[in-house]
Structure 1
Amino acid sequence: MTRPIGIYVHHQGAGHWQRACLIGGALDRPCTLLGTFAACDRRDAPGPLIHLPDDRIAGFDGHDREADRPTSLHYAPLGHPGIRERMARIAAWIAEADPVLMIVDVSVEVALLCRLLSVPTLVVRLAGTRTDPPHLDAFRSASRLLAPFPADLDTEDMPDWIRARTIYSGFLGAAPAPAPEDGRIVVVFGQGGEGGRLAALSEAARAVPDRAWHVLGPVQDVGGAASRPANLHLHGWVADVGAHLAQASLVVGSGGDGVVAAVVGAGKRFVCLPEPRPYDEQASKAEALARLGAAIVQQGWPEGADWPDLVRRGLALDPARIAGLAEPDALARTAAGIEAMAREIEGRPRPGG
């Protein structure tokens, strides 16, 4: 019987879920996703789901608020029943399903748990400065690493041994159907951030009145609709972001994986506004895009008076630069690499019998 692959899916933002669905759907063997899926559209799941209890503490801000913890761990609050049950369910599924491989996207603690359970891992390595002791231990514990971006966007000072262990998937996902650009500016807010604010968006649209502004994703304070300029259009969550991007002359968005992958796939001029993230994940990616001439980068939401110049500079970009980062075969190539890794593992004799 073909042994399955498990994918651990982190619950911050939508990028981990989208990546897991794409990879799982492209594999030629059974695939089970393990994670906290309350905010996900589970109809997209490529296989069975193992729902895990939430591991966040009250007032969660990314930190466990412990004064001391082992140097190999990032997040290990004491006395949390959700974490205890979460790890127990992962271990129980591994014991029952006997997976050939666990893809961990992302968690140092889950990567180390899988290693302790004698399961080979493919650990997802996000952008940013991830050379702290916990990340390095997770990388050492892994059979291989998977970077969900092109090698050209990697951190310049990344150690050679980490690069050598890394499969660079490139940006995954299909390019939208081409459509004529109509001059619009499309602003994209992803699931992992706070969304936009109507007052700030209105100010931007008034500063560049000759362009239609189309906003995708959550917007706060929408009650002030009476003061909204006529060229500002709020769409909320949309099923097909690509259809909106295809018509855009310029895209404004964060440095999150999902947003950047969508813009790269559409080959659009990009003003990147990286949001604060641990390990400078978005800032690092934005800096690499700017270095390649593929985006204009601005820290924080711009003041109204700054928008005309930002739009002018964004429209002056050569869209071929960002389009050149797209790889049409990225998903198929990545899935084939994972399959080859799984077959190689299956071909090894098992220690102890």
Structure 2
Amino acid sequence: MIGYYVHHQGSGHVRRAAAVARRTQHDVVGLGSGPRPPEWDGAWVALPRDDDPPVTDPEGADVTAGGVLHWVPRHHPGLRARHRVIADWIEEERPALVVVDVSVEVTLLVRLCGVPVVVGAMPGDRTDRPHRLAYDVAEALLAPWPAQAHPDNGWPQAWTDKTWHVGGISALDLGAGDDPGGMPSRAAGAGASGPRDVLVLWGTGGDDPDQGGYAEAQRATPGWRWTFRGGRLPAADDLAAELRTADVVVCHAGQGSVADVALLRRPAVVLAQPRPHAEQEATVRAVARMGIAATGVGWPSAQEWPGLLEEALATGGAGWQRWGGDGALAAAAHLDGLADRFSLEVTPPPQGSTEGPA
């Protein structure tokens, strides 16, 4: 059995975990805040929240334990209950390994229980003390991007050596025999009749651009028809179909959205939102360096939009093949192999042996 811990911030973690779990040969049990999310097909362990009740004085609660960890507020009942549920589940189920996407504290808890951990790697600056601790103890780092994406991330060689670069992990289910390349979009200056289509694909982990920004972008691009999805906006009934028919997709630089666009190889404008450790800025730099899409930081001004959309069309979507969006199968294969390795029964020491720590 494989355990899969899923962070509750945003929708990307659970979508990525579900995509991988569906492709593993081992049983996978999800662990995360609250009831089982609709994306998750298998067993689920509901965890108490570690931020309920809210921490009103983070400094007084020493939530980082002096900068060693990210979130361990003193005497917090939710945190204590959360960790007890995880430890009890490990004792009862004896998983071969646990994937943690993402939490430094859960990574350490699982490893302290003697269970191997695979940590979901994140782009951006992860050389702070808590991330170093988690990445150091991990058996492997699961990176949902290609190996050439972040050559300047400052990682020590020991991390790089144990990283699985599987490419983007998209949660889209295209069906057997479906062509991931999708429908070709119209080239820049092609002069096709009717407006061209822009699909704005936004996430749930941050703030939406204000409605004024949407309106200004539309007014500045009269030859384009805009559709907005994600965040507080209406969800798509068939996201894959909308992605296929869009001439340009505008998305934030979260790993899930980028993987969805990459899987269908759509011409795109990829925009970095503010995130801890500058993770989306790192992804935007990687996409720009690889020449895959038009990019920006924040929501562009009205006058920038015509040029960005034309740049996306001119760049096309073929370059996304170098990023990949079907990394779930590769990730599942890695996890199955590691689970097989750690599922081998460990021979107990002879009776009366004093082997091992006191």
TM-score class, shorter: 0.7 to 0.9
User: CA 1:149–1:275 in structure 2 vs 1: closer, same or farther (change >3 Å)?
Assistant: same
The residue number in structure 2 matching 1:78 is: 74
User: CA 1:89–1:238 in structure 2 vs 1: closer, same or farther (change >3 Å)?
Assistant: same
Q: State the distance in 2 between where 1:155 and 1:285 align.
A: 12
Considering Cα pairs closer than 8 Å and 6+ residues apart, tell me whether 1 or 2 has the greater RCO. 2
Taking structure 1 as the reference length, what is the TM-score of the superposition?
0.87
Taking structure 2 as the reference length, what is the TM-score of the superposition?
0.86
Shift of 1:249: 1.4
Shift of 1:60: 7.6
Percent of aligned pairs with the same residue? Answer: 34
The residue number in structure 1 matching 2:32 is: 35
User: CA 1:309–1:149 in structure 2 vs 1: closer, same or farther (change >3 Å)?
Assistant: same
Q: State the distance in 2 between where 1:239 and 1:163 align.
A: 39
Instruction: Work out whether 1:50 is the aligned partner of 2:45.
Output: yes
Instruction: Work out whether 1:13 is the aligned partner of 2:10.
Output: yes
Q: State the distance in 2 between where 1:86 and 1:239 align.
A: 35
Q: Which amino acid aligns with 2:255?
A: D
User: CA 1:321–1:112 in structure 2 vs 1: closer, same or farther (change >3 Å)?
Assistant: same
Q: State the distance in 2 between where 1:210 and 1:327 align.
A: 30
Q: State the distance in 2 between where 1:319 and 1:180 align.
A: 8
The residue number in structure 2 matching 1:24 is: 21
The residue number in structure 1 matching 2:155 is: 158
**For each residue in 1:68-87, what CA deviation from the matched residue of structure 2 results, as whole angstroms up to 9, or x when unmatched?**
61443111111221111111
Residues 28 and 43 of structure 2 are in contact (CA less than 8 Å); yes or no, is this contact kept in structure 1?
Answer: yes
Dislocated runs of 4+, deviation >6 Å: 58-61
Residues 272 and 286 of structure 1 are in contact (CA less than 8 Å); yes or no, is this contact kept in structure 2?
Answer: yes
Residues 13 and 190 of structure 1 are in contact (CA less than 8 Å); yes or no, is this contact kept in structure 2?
Answer: yes
**For each residue in 1:215-242, what CA deviation from the matched residue of structure 2 results, as whole angstroms up to 9, or x when unmatched?**
11245xxxxxxxxxxxxxxx71124322
Q: State the distance in 2 between where 1:261 and 1:37 align.
A: 26
SS of the residue aligned with 1:316?
helix
Residues 261 and 268 of structure 2 are in contact (CA less than 8 Å); yes or no, is this contact kept in structure 1?
Answer: yes
SS of the residue aligned with 2:272?
coil
Instruction: Work out whether 1:336 is the aligned partner of 2:333.
Output: yes
Shift of 1:198: 2.1
SS of the residue aligned with 1:26?
coil
Instruction: Work out whether 1:168 is the aligned partner of 2:173.
Output: no
Q: State the distance in 2 between where 1:160 and 1:298 align.
A: 30
User: CA 1:269–1:37 in structure 2 vs 1: closer, same or farther (change >3 Å)?
Assistant: farther
- Counterpart selection for 1:189 from 202, 205, 224: 202
SS of the residue aligned with 2:315?
coil
Instruction: Work out whether 1:142 is the aligned partner of 2:155.
Output: no
**For each residue in 1:234-272, what CA deviation from the matched residue of structure 2 results, as whole angstroms up to 9, or x when unmatched?**
x71124322111011111111101110111111012211
The residue number in structure 2 matching 1:205 is: 218
Q: How does 1:231-242 map to 2 (within 5 A)?
A: 236-242=234-240
| Farther-moved stretch of structure 1 (196-205 vs 180-189) | 180-189
Q: State the distance in 1 between where 2:11 and 2:343 align.
A: 32
The residue number in structure 2 matching 1:111 is: 107
User: CA 1:244–1:16 in structure 2 vs 1: closer, same or farther (change >3 Å)?
Assistant: same
Shift of 1:195: 2.1
Q: Which amino acid aligns with 1:162?
A: W
Q: Which amino acid aligns with 1:100?
A: A
| Farther-moved stretch of structure 1 (192-201 vs 205-214) | 192-201
The residue number in structure 2 matching 1:125 is: 121
Shift of 1:149: 1.5
Shift of 1:197: 2.5
The residue number in structure 2 matching 1:100 is: 96
User: CA 1:203–1:349 in structure 2 vs 1: closer, same or farther (change >3 Å)?
Assistant: same
Residues 250 and 315 of structure 1 are in contact (CA less than 8 Å); yes or no, is this contact kept in structure 2?
Answer: yes
SS of the residue aligned with 2:119?
strand
User: CA 1:293–1:180 in structure 2 vs 1: closer, same or farther (change >3 Å)?
Assistant: closer
